[in-house]
Structure 1
Amino acid sequence: MDKIGDNASQKRFHEFLNKLGPRPSNTFRFFERINETYSVHGKDQCDVIANIVFKSVAAVKVLGAFADEAKPKNSYYFLTLTRKQFEDAARQLLLVKNYRLEVYVMKNKNQSEWEIEYSGSPGNLIQFEDILFLNKEGFVGCGMLSIRFQRTGVENKMGIAFIDMNEYEFQVAEFVDDDFFAELESVLVCLAPKECLVPSLDGEYYSKINQILERNGILVTLLDKKDSSSKVWKSDLIQDLRHVLKFEKGQKEDPNSLPEIAMELSMNALYSGIKYMQITSDADNNERFKMTKLNFEKFIHLDSAAISAMNLLPKPGTSVHSPSYRWQSILGVLNHCRTQQGQRLMTQWVKQPLRDINTITVRHDIVQCLLEEPGVLKDLSEDTMKKFPDILVLIKKLVRKRFNLQDLFRIYQSILRGKKLFETLTSLNNATVKSVLCNSLESTLTDLGKLKSMVEEVIDFSGIDRHEYLIKDSYNETLLILNNKMRKILEKMDKLHDLAADDIGLEKGAVMKLDYTSQHGYHFRIPLKHDSMLRKSKNYQTISAIKGGVRFTNERLKELSEKFKLNRDEYKIQQNSIVDEIVKIAIGYHGLLSSYNNDIAQIDCLVAFAVAAQNAPIPYVRPKMSAEDVKPRNISLKGLRHPCIELQENVTFIANDANFKKDESHMYIITGPNMGGKSTYIKSVGIAVLMAHIGSFVPATEASISMVDSIMCRVGSSDSISKGLSTFMVEMIESASIIRSATENSLVIIDELGRGTSTYEGGGIAWSIAEHLAKNVRCFSLFATHFFETTNLAVTEPTVKNFHVAAIANEKNFTLLYEIRPKPMEQSFGIHVAKLVKFPQSVVQTADKVFNEFDEQNKIETEDDSKILKKIENSLDKMVMENLEVGDIQSILDEINKDIKKSDGHYKKMLSSKNV
């Protein structure tokens, strides 16, 4: 059995675990051991982490002190991790699986007392930044959302505060929401928080809020009631803001002067967020944050149903290097970004499609310009943009004072590359590129010029080839003395190099080299094929003999190398105080570097849009956009394709058209067999509209789009039972949100509504929702359904148009054409589809037989129903024309009831089910 310490210490540790209490289900606990190892305890969490790190639970062991027990307790199981394995597990748990982490260290050597050293959660990664990001590319957002809710009369007032630790920003907003909290869900999609702080208060509405958060995959953290109801929270908040806010030049340096302070609910939420994240306890946060008011009207309304229905984002944990990443989501299709900052911004843009036609036009102009200059586009995508580091990571290290000369040099390199980028963009000679990209980039680079000059003044560039980042000796007298000593030592080693080359009989420099590594210091190196010549002399000791050559030294070279190392180490000690001063100066450029980072990200995203448009199987086209208030409104898409499906191997996509026009064609009702392409078609329309609003070109041969205020979806029938919701309940929640929120400027996409209940009820629900959208809302809608009765809506509503997905069927063959054609589908192809997917012949024959029986019965029932309806119609006419008394009317109704009971129609079944 594997052990952690002796049996006595194990038992003491287990006593501590018992005293610590049960582990919350959403929290993982790690215990830091000696030699940078970590242990995890409890079979439940050990199994999760073992699968993350080892892809197997075989590594999970049982504590030796309890190994003899017949059934070891859950807490007796343990897992030991190296530092790297712990870091890998932490990344997965925090960034992908949305868990909280606690790391404990020993207070005494006998393992009886431990304390939390640091902790983190998906929205509060501050204490894990070193582990997760600072030595890795790929920094991700760690925004925390805090919510306050107030019920006033019939209104739900929401106050939110979003704490963005990447941009050092407090974003606040207040808004009125409905009982389904549709606006809140749109906010969650827009901001994409990993974690949300909610007061631990009882009540129906707080329960609904928590359900929405969990449904969107957001970790819910309940605050203590005392934290939510503190009477002095406002005065405490003002004190906190005085420490952490950075005021603009000329702005009154008083939090009370900010207009956002009047937003009471939002400020209460912000206070909780600041306390929970302990922002004021970290001096590095002083005078870093700005406060802004969020304006969600700038973006199209999207909810989680729309994100899922249109496959906007890849599945959690999907790597950008995965072969399937490119075609699994719209983000994958568009994300040809070459920088980490670009990839982060692209994710944000996909979730925040714009409603500002001017900004959209600017993006389209720039993408078009890049496509018209394929040579420049290739240079930008395949060379220039790839060389930019993740400046946000460097900014984080700078602010945290973990910045070194190598980081400073990387920023210097990025400034030089920025100048090349500016020259490339300027060469496009495009007015929009110049005003939007070049002017901003030029201004930022000019302001960063002093930082560039400082780097050139202080860094010794000659040492960088040896991967040594040193201050120039001319910068300080002590450094100059030490550098002269090192120079003299190098001269002596060079002479020693001459002597050794003559001694061994090999040419200096070309064959025999004086080499340096951090592990071996200075040494000689010759090709492996000359090893025999080296062995002739006893004056040298071989260090290693590998494919790259034979490394060797002698006593004098070892002595000189050691002296050089001592002088160099002293040089680094002396320069540390200088580096500290340089870091203080560089911190002053924090804001400019952040702006520069944003400039690079924006350029990278626009280049990515152009690459996506260019690389598509059929190049994307620029959409002609018109503002929401421009009449007549239309969405016209010719040769429309689904951008994900057309990228899949061995797929030849069949394009279709869509043509919506105000007061002529508002709604498409689409019928046809499963697998025929109904869902793909309606999603393609929504995706094209969304891509246009992001600023991307669209997968079509021609596109004209009136801007929309929201894209609302009810697609698919996947269960959410794990979150306590059935398929039908999810349908009803999403449909209710559409009915309440859709406006005449919305785009609504509904697929297979009503399948989670009986045929009659499902058909009734589908009809009523379609009718409401067509008659009352009058927005552009796509409605795919198997309830053929819904197609009759086109008879009474001229703006409703029927379409079907084409198929050809006969006794032997069934062929799906994937074309959208006018008119409703004339027959059902369910059994043909069963044959297509190779159902067993006996099953198909039984289905065919039962279908024919049902069809015949339905004809009989329909005939009886027609007779009953005719009699009811005549009776109603008689009641109206003859002005009958109540008793006479009751007699007629009784007679109709008897006729229904004698019939074999649907109405008899309905009466029987209700015991009438």
Structure 2
Amino acid sequence: MAKVKETPMMQQYNAIKAQYPDAFLFYRLGDFYELFNDDAIKGSQLLELTLTQRNKHSANPVPMAGVPHHAAQNYIDILVDKGYKVAIVEQMEDPATAEGMVKREVVQLVTPGTRMRTGADAAKENNYLVAISGTEPVYGLSYADLSTGEVRATTLNSTNAILNEIARLETREIVTDSELAEDLLANLTNLGILISHVSTVTRSAEISYLTQQLSGEEAQTVAVLLTYLFTTQKRSLDHLQLATSYEIAQYLKMDRNSRANLELTVNLRTQQRSGTLLWLLDETKTAMGGRMLKQWLEQPLLDQMQLEARYDKIGAFLKDYFNRAALQDALQQVYDLERIAGRVAYGTANGRDLLQLRNSLRQVPAILVILSDMDTAIFGGLVAHLDPVTDIEQVITEAITEEPPISVTDGGIIKAGYNQQLDDYRDIMKNGKRWLAELEATEREATGINSLKIGFNKVFGYYIEVTKANIPKLDVDRYTRKQTLVNAERFVTPELKVHEQKILEAEAQSSQLEYSLLSALREQIKQNIARIQSLASTLAELDVLQALATVAENYQFVRPEITQNNDLDIKNGRHPVIEKVLGHQAYVANDIMMAADEQIQLITGPNMSGKSTYMRQLALTVILAQIGSFVPADAAKLPIFDQIFTRIGAADDLISGNSTFMVEMAEANTALQNATKDSLILFDELGRGTATYDGMALAQAIIEYVHENVHAKTLFSTHYHELTTLDQALPKLRNVHVGASEENGQLIFSHKVLPGPADQSYGINVAKLAGLPTAVIDRADTLLKMLENQDVAPSTVATVSPTDVTPTPEAVPTDQQLDLFATAVDQATQTVLLKLQTADVANMTPIETMLFLHELQQELK
């Protein structure tokens, strides 16, 4: 079969596409971006475009779809949101002057991790691109937000640590180098996140400068990250900040499951922010403050001095309502300085962006006055970093008009008086058009033709038009004929052509000069980006502090006291999010007390009574205290915890082939393997995903292991009432229960946590509340009475001494089963049951199993 001959344009397209095989190619043709071949077919489906064909009458037409260039950003955003890359191909020369094919190049590769998100919905969200390098046992992980210029790096020693950090950063794209181990790459691929690769790491002066504070694997992973950024963006990225190092050990550790279970930033049910701790706390007035608040929430501190400093500032704002209100008013007029700086460096900032920068800088003097009226010892450090960047504010005021257009190439951006040449051009345009009006009036009077007019078109320029009926009135040599129309003649004069030249040149040169002046101004601002970013960080911190003070005032939070002796004492603690939903009056507060030598609270009580709420509110109180916030209680004494582990709720991981119970055991194992005496563990209904005695045995063994080996503060809720006797053998365990009572057949919850074990689970009562059919409830009640009358001795479960953490055979009675139909059985039946109980079914083949069952059937006949 003869090879299809390609046109020069398609040759150019295919050559560029070969360099970007994993991206949609937006190929500029005039006023459209076109997609061809497979890109067109798939793009038409994803973007709901009409699929057409190029060379449709040929033997091999080319699939084609296009979008207008002015609307392209919307389509690019759709593709990137779906996890695809988009390569933007622009015309690099004027088609009118180009010889042969117009030169075209990829000017930017837009990817999920490099997208400059600007919408209101993304204002308080970072968009992190993550890079990973290294081999076991030392991996490097770095991340950057291209829109703000933030770059950070750390080293990690396990796949789980990497996965936890990726989850924390909510990354949508991961970059790796060629050295990354295959097993780790497989784990990353299973996350469903776009994986990009850098085959060769660039060594440049810019990368060396940005990584100057790093060494080893941290410097390597940032080099991978920056190589990818420079390769894809193909432009100056002067807003990127010096990469800084951080240690996971500097912050309170929470694995991805614990973060999800506690709903810090994402609601488990809706996957939205509403109903989360962040939702409650976010009283910030700026986009920068909103992002910083989220960062604080994701990385609670371990350093008491830093925490006390934050408490001091929040306390000062809490006491001084008027200065706090004045600060809020000023912050509301501050735009997103970090992202404006990013657009300036990127070369995409327009006149309106610069006015937003100017208006933001104008708030700084007022903020300095507010802080000077407060305690200098508390706010002095922040005041020192509040640089008003006055010189930039002044030059923007002098240069930019008050109502600039969105476009940066059509003029109307620069103020009159800023540049003499521009003023001259504008004067020519203004006076030239006035001159034309005067010329028209003069010629009408001189010729006596009142319908004579001066017009303009792009082909002939300015002209004098006279209708054919009036041609006899003209002197033969007065004008030079230019164009003949059906009903009129058009003329020019030497004087008209001279003014035409001046006007058109002024219009063209004016727009070019304005763009040049704007570019120079952006370059001047670019030289001060570090100052603007420092100011932005300080304003964001002030915003977070005032927000936390506002929350403390609105919800009656108090300053926590950090204890050194591992003592935990919370008076009338509340779950802040649930309290916001229910209202302060409806929420039932609870004390949470664990003395220095108390390790485990075993919590019993009916479903729906509030056990999980009680557990979660402790974790949220700890997190609030360790981000430097006041906490929801009447009083609170807390140690500093190094880690929080949670096993709450029922969830499976079908993609990885793990059942609910397997996930439960895996999360429990994470806690047992990694927790220390300074950790907090929350185990909710552990062991319920398997048979009764299996679950009970595992629950007891885990409690004993925590008590004897881990020594962490632990809340363990359970329905296994048999475990409540453990307090007799484990001295650092205490029973508590959530109160409930039955009145006239109805279950009444007190939601109050009381000392001692619960007397029963009230499971059937809860089922009744859920609306199960009466027949089901009655039958369950009958069966419960039968079970309670059987001779089952649950007290034998809790017989392990505190020095022996291995369950004894007596602790797990394997020879007893709960019999729902307690009837007498004969010897033959007992023999069959014994054979069934002791058979190794797991190791039988299907045929052996069938023969075994057939044998048992024969014995029973």
TM-score between both structures, scaled by the size of structure 1: 0.69
Deviation at 1:307, TM superposition (A): 0.9
Contact 2:27 2:89 in 1 (8 A): yes
Q: Distance in 2 between matches of 1:861 and 1:827?
A: 16
Alignment-derived partner of residue 624 in structure 2:
691
**Cα distance in structure 2, aligned partners of 1:603 and 1:218:** 35
Structure 1 position 912 matched with structure 2 position 849: no
8 Å Cα contact 2:34/2:64 also seen in 1? no
Output the amino acid matched with 1:138: A
2:87 is the counterpart of 1:120: no
Q: Secondary structure at the match of 2:751?
A: strand
State the shift of 1:595 in Å.
0.7
Q: Which residue of 1 aligns with 2:152?
A: 171
**1:530 is matched with which residue?**
none
Verify: 1:354 aligned to 2:301, yes or no.
yes
How far apart in 1 are the matches of 2:70 and 2:735? 59
Q: Which amino acid counterpart does residue 207 of structure 1 have in structure 2?
A: D
Q: CA deviation at 1:794?
A: 1.6
Indicate whether 1:437 and 2:437 are aligned.
no
User: AA paired with 1:449?
Assistant: T
For the residues of structure 1 that align with 2:836 and 2:730, how far apart are their CA atoms?
28
Alpha-carbon shift at residue 697 of structure 1 (Å): 1.4
The amino acid across from 2:697 in the alignment is G
Query: Residues 134 and 180 of structure 2 are in contact (CA less than 8 Å); yes or no, is this contact kept in structure 1?
Result: no
Residue identity matched to 1:594:
Q
Alignment match, 2:135 = 150
- Give the secondary-structure state (helix, strand or coil) at the position aligned to 1:260: coil
Partner of 1:662: 596
Q: Distance in 2 between matches of 1:733 and 1:625?
A: 32
Provide the secondary structure at the position in 2 that maps to 1:412: helix
CA distance in 1, matches of 2:64, 2:422: 52
SS of the residue 1:354 aligns to: coil
Offset, 1:840: 1.0
Change in 2 beyond 3 A, CA 1:368/1:767: same
- Mapping for residues 6-405 of structure 1, pairs under 5 Å: 35-36=31-32, 49=46, 87-88=73-74, 90-91=76-77, 94=80, 98-101=83-86, 118-123=108-113, 125=114, 128-129=115-116, 132-133=117-118, 138=123, 140-151=125-136, 156-166=137-147, 168=149, 170-177=151-158, 181-198=159-176, 206-207=182-183, 210-211=186-187, 214=190, 218-221=193-196, 223=197, 227=199, 237=202, 239-240=203-204, 242-246=205-209, 258=212, 260-261=214-215, 263=216, 265-279=217-231, 282-285=234-237, 288-315=240-267, 325-326=273-274, 328-381=275-328, 383-405=329-351
Q: Kindly tell me: are residues 612 and 210 of structure 1, through their superposed partners in 2, closer, same or farther at Cα, counting changes over 3 Å?
A: farther
Q: Give the whole-Å Cα distance in 2 for the aligned partners of 1:863 and 1:590.
A: 70
Q: Residue by residue, what CA displacement relative to the aligned partner does 1:107-154 show, whole Å, maximum 9, x if unpaired?
A: 9x9xxxx9977543322x1xx43xx43999727533332223434xxx
Deviation at 1:295, TM superposition (A): 2.1
Q: Distance in 1 between matches of 2:760 and 2:282?
A: 42
Partner residue of 2:546 out of 607, 612, 637: 607
CA separation of 1:218 and 1:609: change in aligned 2, threshold 3 A: farther
1:147 aligned partner, one-letter code: I
**Contact 2:682–2:716 (CA<8 Å) still a contact in 1?**
yes
Partner in structure 1 of residue 531 of structure 2: 592
Superposed counterparts of 1:694-773, under 5 Å: 694-773=627-706
Is the partner of 1:360 in helix, strand or coil? helix
The corresponding residue for 1:252 is: none
| CA distance in structure 2 between the aligned counterparts of 1:398 and 1:355, rounded to whole angstroms | 37
Contact 1:470 1:572 in 2 (8 A): no
CA distance in 2, matches of 1:799, 1:43: 68
* Structure 2 CA distance for aligned equivalents of residues 27 and 787 of structure 1: 56
In 1, Cα distance between equivalents of 2:66 and 2:208? 43
Q: Indicate the SS of the match to 2:761.
A: coil
Distance 1:640 1:581, change over 3 A: same
Alignment-derived partner of residue 821 in structure 1: 754
CA positional deviation for 1:834: 0.7
| 1:820 CA displacement | 1.1
Distance across 1 between alignment mates of 2:26 and 2:693: 56
Residue 356 (structure 2) aligns with: 410
Distance in 2 (alpha carbons) for counterparts of 1:728 and 1:576: 64
Rounded Cα–Cα distance in structure 2 between residues aligned with 1:35 and 1:477: 35
Give per-residue Cα distances to partners, 1:30-64, cap 9 Å, x unaligned: 777875477797999779847xxxxxxxx687879
Cα–Cα, structure 1 residues 479 and 266, in superposed 2: closer, same or farther, change >3 Å? Answer: closer
State the 1:411 CA deviation. 1.9
Change beyond 3 A, Cα 1:482–1:27? closer
Query: Which of residues 739, 742, 766 is equivalent to 1:809?
Result: 742
Q: Displacement, 1:842?
A: 1.6
CA contact (8 A) 2:568 2:595 kept: yes
Matched residue, 2:446: none
Change (3 A) 1:715 1:38: farther
Work out the CA distance in 1 between the residues paired with 2:177 and 2:739. 54
In structure 1, distance between residues paired with 2:794 and 2:546: 64
Q: In structure 2, what is the equivalent of residue 625 of structure 1? A: 562
Q: 1:836 aligns with which of 769, 772, 778?
A: 769
Unaligned runs of 5+ in 2: 57-61, 96-103, 439-501, 801-826, 843-861
Q: Map 1:572-583; keep pairs closer than 5 Å.
A: 572-583=511-522
How far is 1:213 from its partner?
7.3
User: Partner letter of residue 844 of structure 1?
Assistant: I
Change (3 A) 1:462 1:401: closer
Residues of 2 paired with 1:260 and 1:45: CA distance? 43
Q: Quick one: distance in 2 between partners of 1:735 and 1:437?
A: 43
Structure 1 residues 44 and 406: CA distance shift in structure 2, 3 A: closer
Letter in 2 for 1:481: D
Q: Give 1:479 shift.
A: 3.4
CA gap of 1:341–1:821, structure 2 versus 1, over 3 A, is same
State the distance in 1 between where 2:796 and 2:228 align: 66
Q: Which residue of 2 aligns with 1:454?
A: 395
1:837 & 1:902 partners in 2: Cα distance?
Answer: 44
Tell me what 1:675 maps to: 608
- For 2:669, what is the secondary structure of its paired residue? helix
Aligned residues of 1:670 and 1:783 also touching (Cα < 8 A): yes
Deviation at 1:835, TM superposition (A): 0.3
Structure 2 counterparts to residues 637-648 of structure 1, below 5 A:
637-648=570-581
Trace 1:760-799 onto structure 2 (pairs within 5 A).
Answer: 760-799=693-732
Cα deviation for residue 396 of structure 1 reads 1.5
> CA offset at residue 854 of structure 1?
3.5
Cα deviation, 1:66-105, whole Å, max 9, x if unaligned, reads: x9xxxxxxxx99998677876446446545x545445679
Are the aligned partners of 1:279 and 1:285 in contact in 2 as well (CA < 8 Å)? no
Q: Deviations over 1:753-795 (max 9, x none)?
A: 2233222222222222222212211111111122223323222
Q: Residues 286, 329 of structure 1: CA spacing in aligned structure 2 closer, same or farther, 3 A cutoff? A: closer
Superposed displacement of residue 188, structure 1: 3.1
Is 1:653–2:579 an aligned residue pair? no
Q: Which has the larger radius of gyration?
A: 2
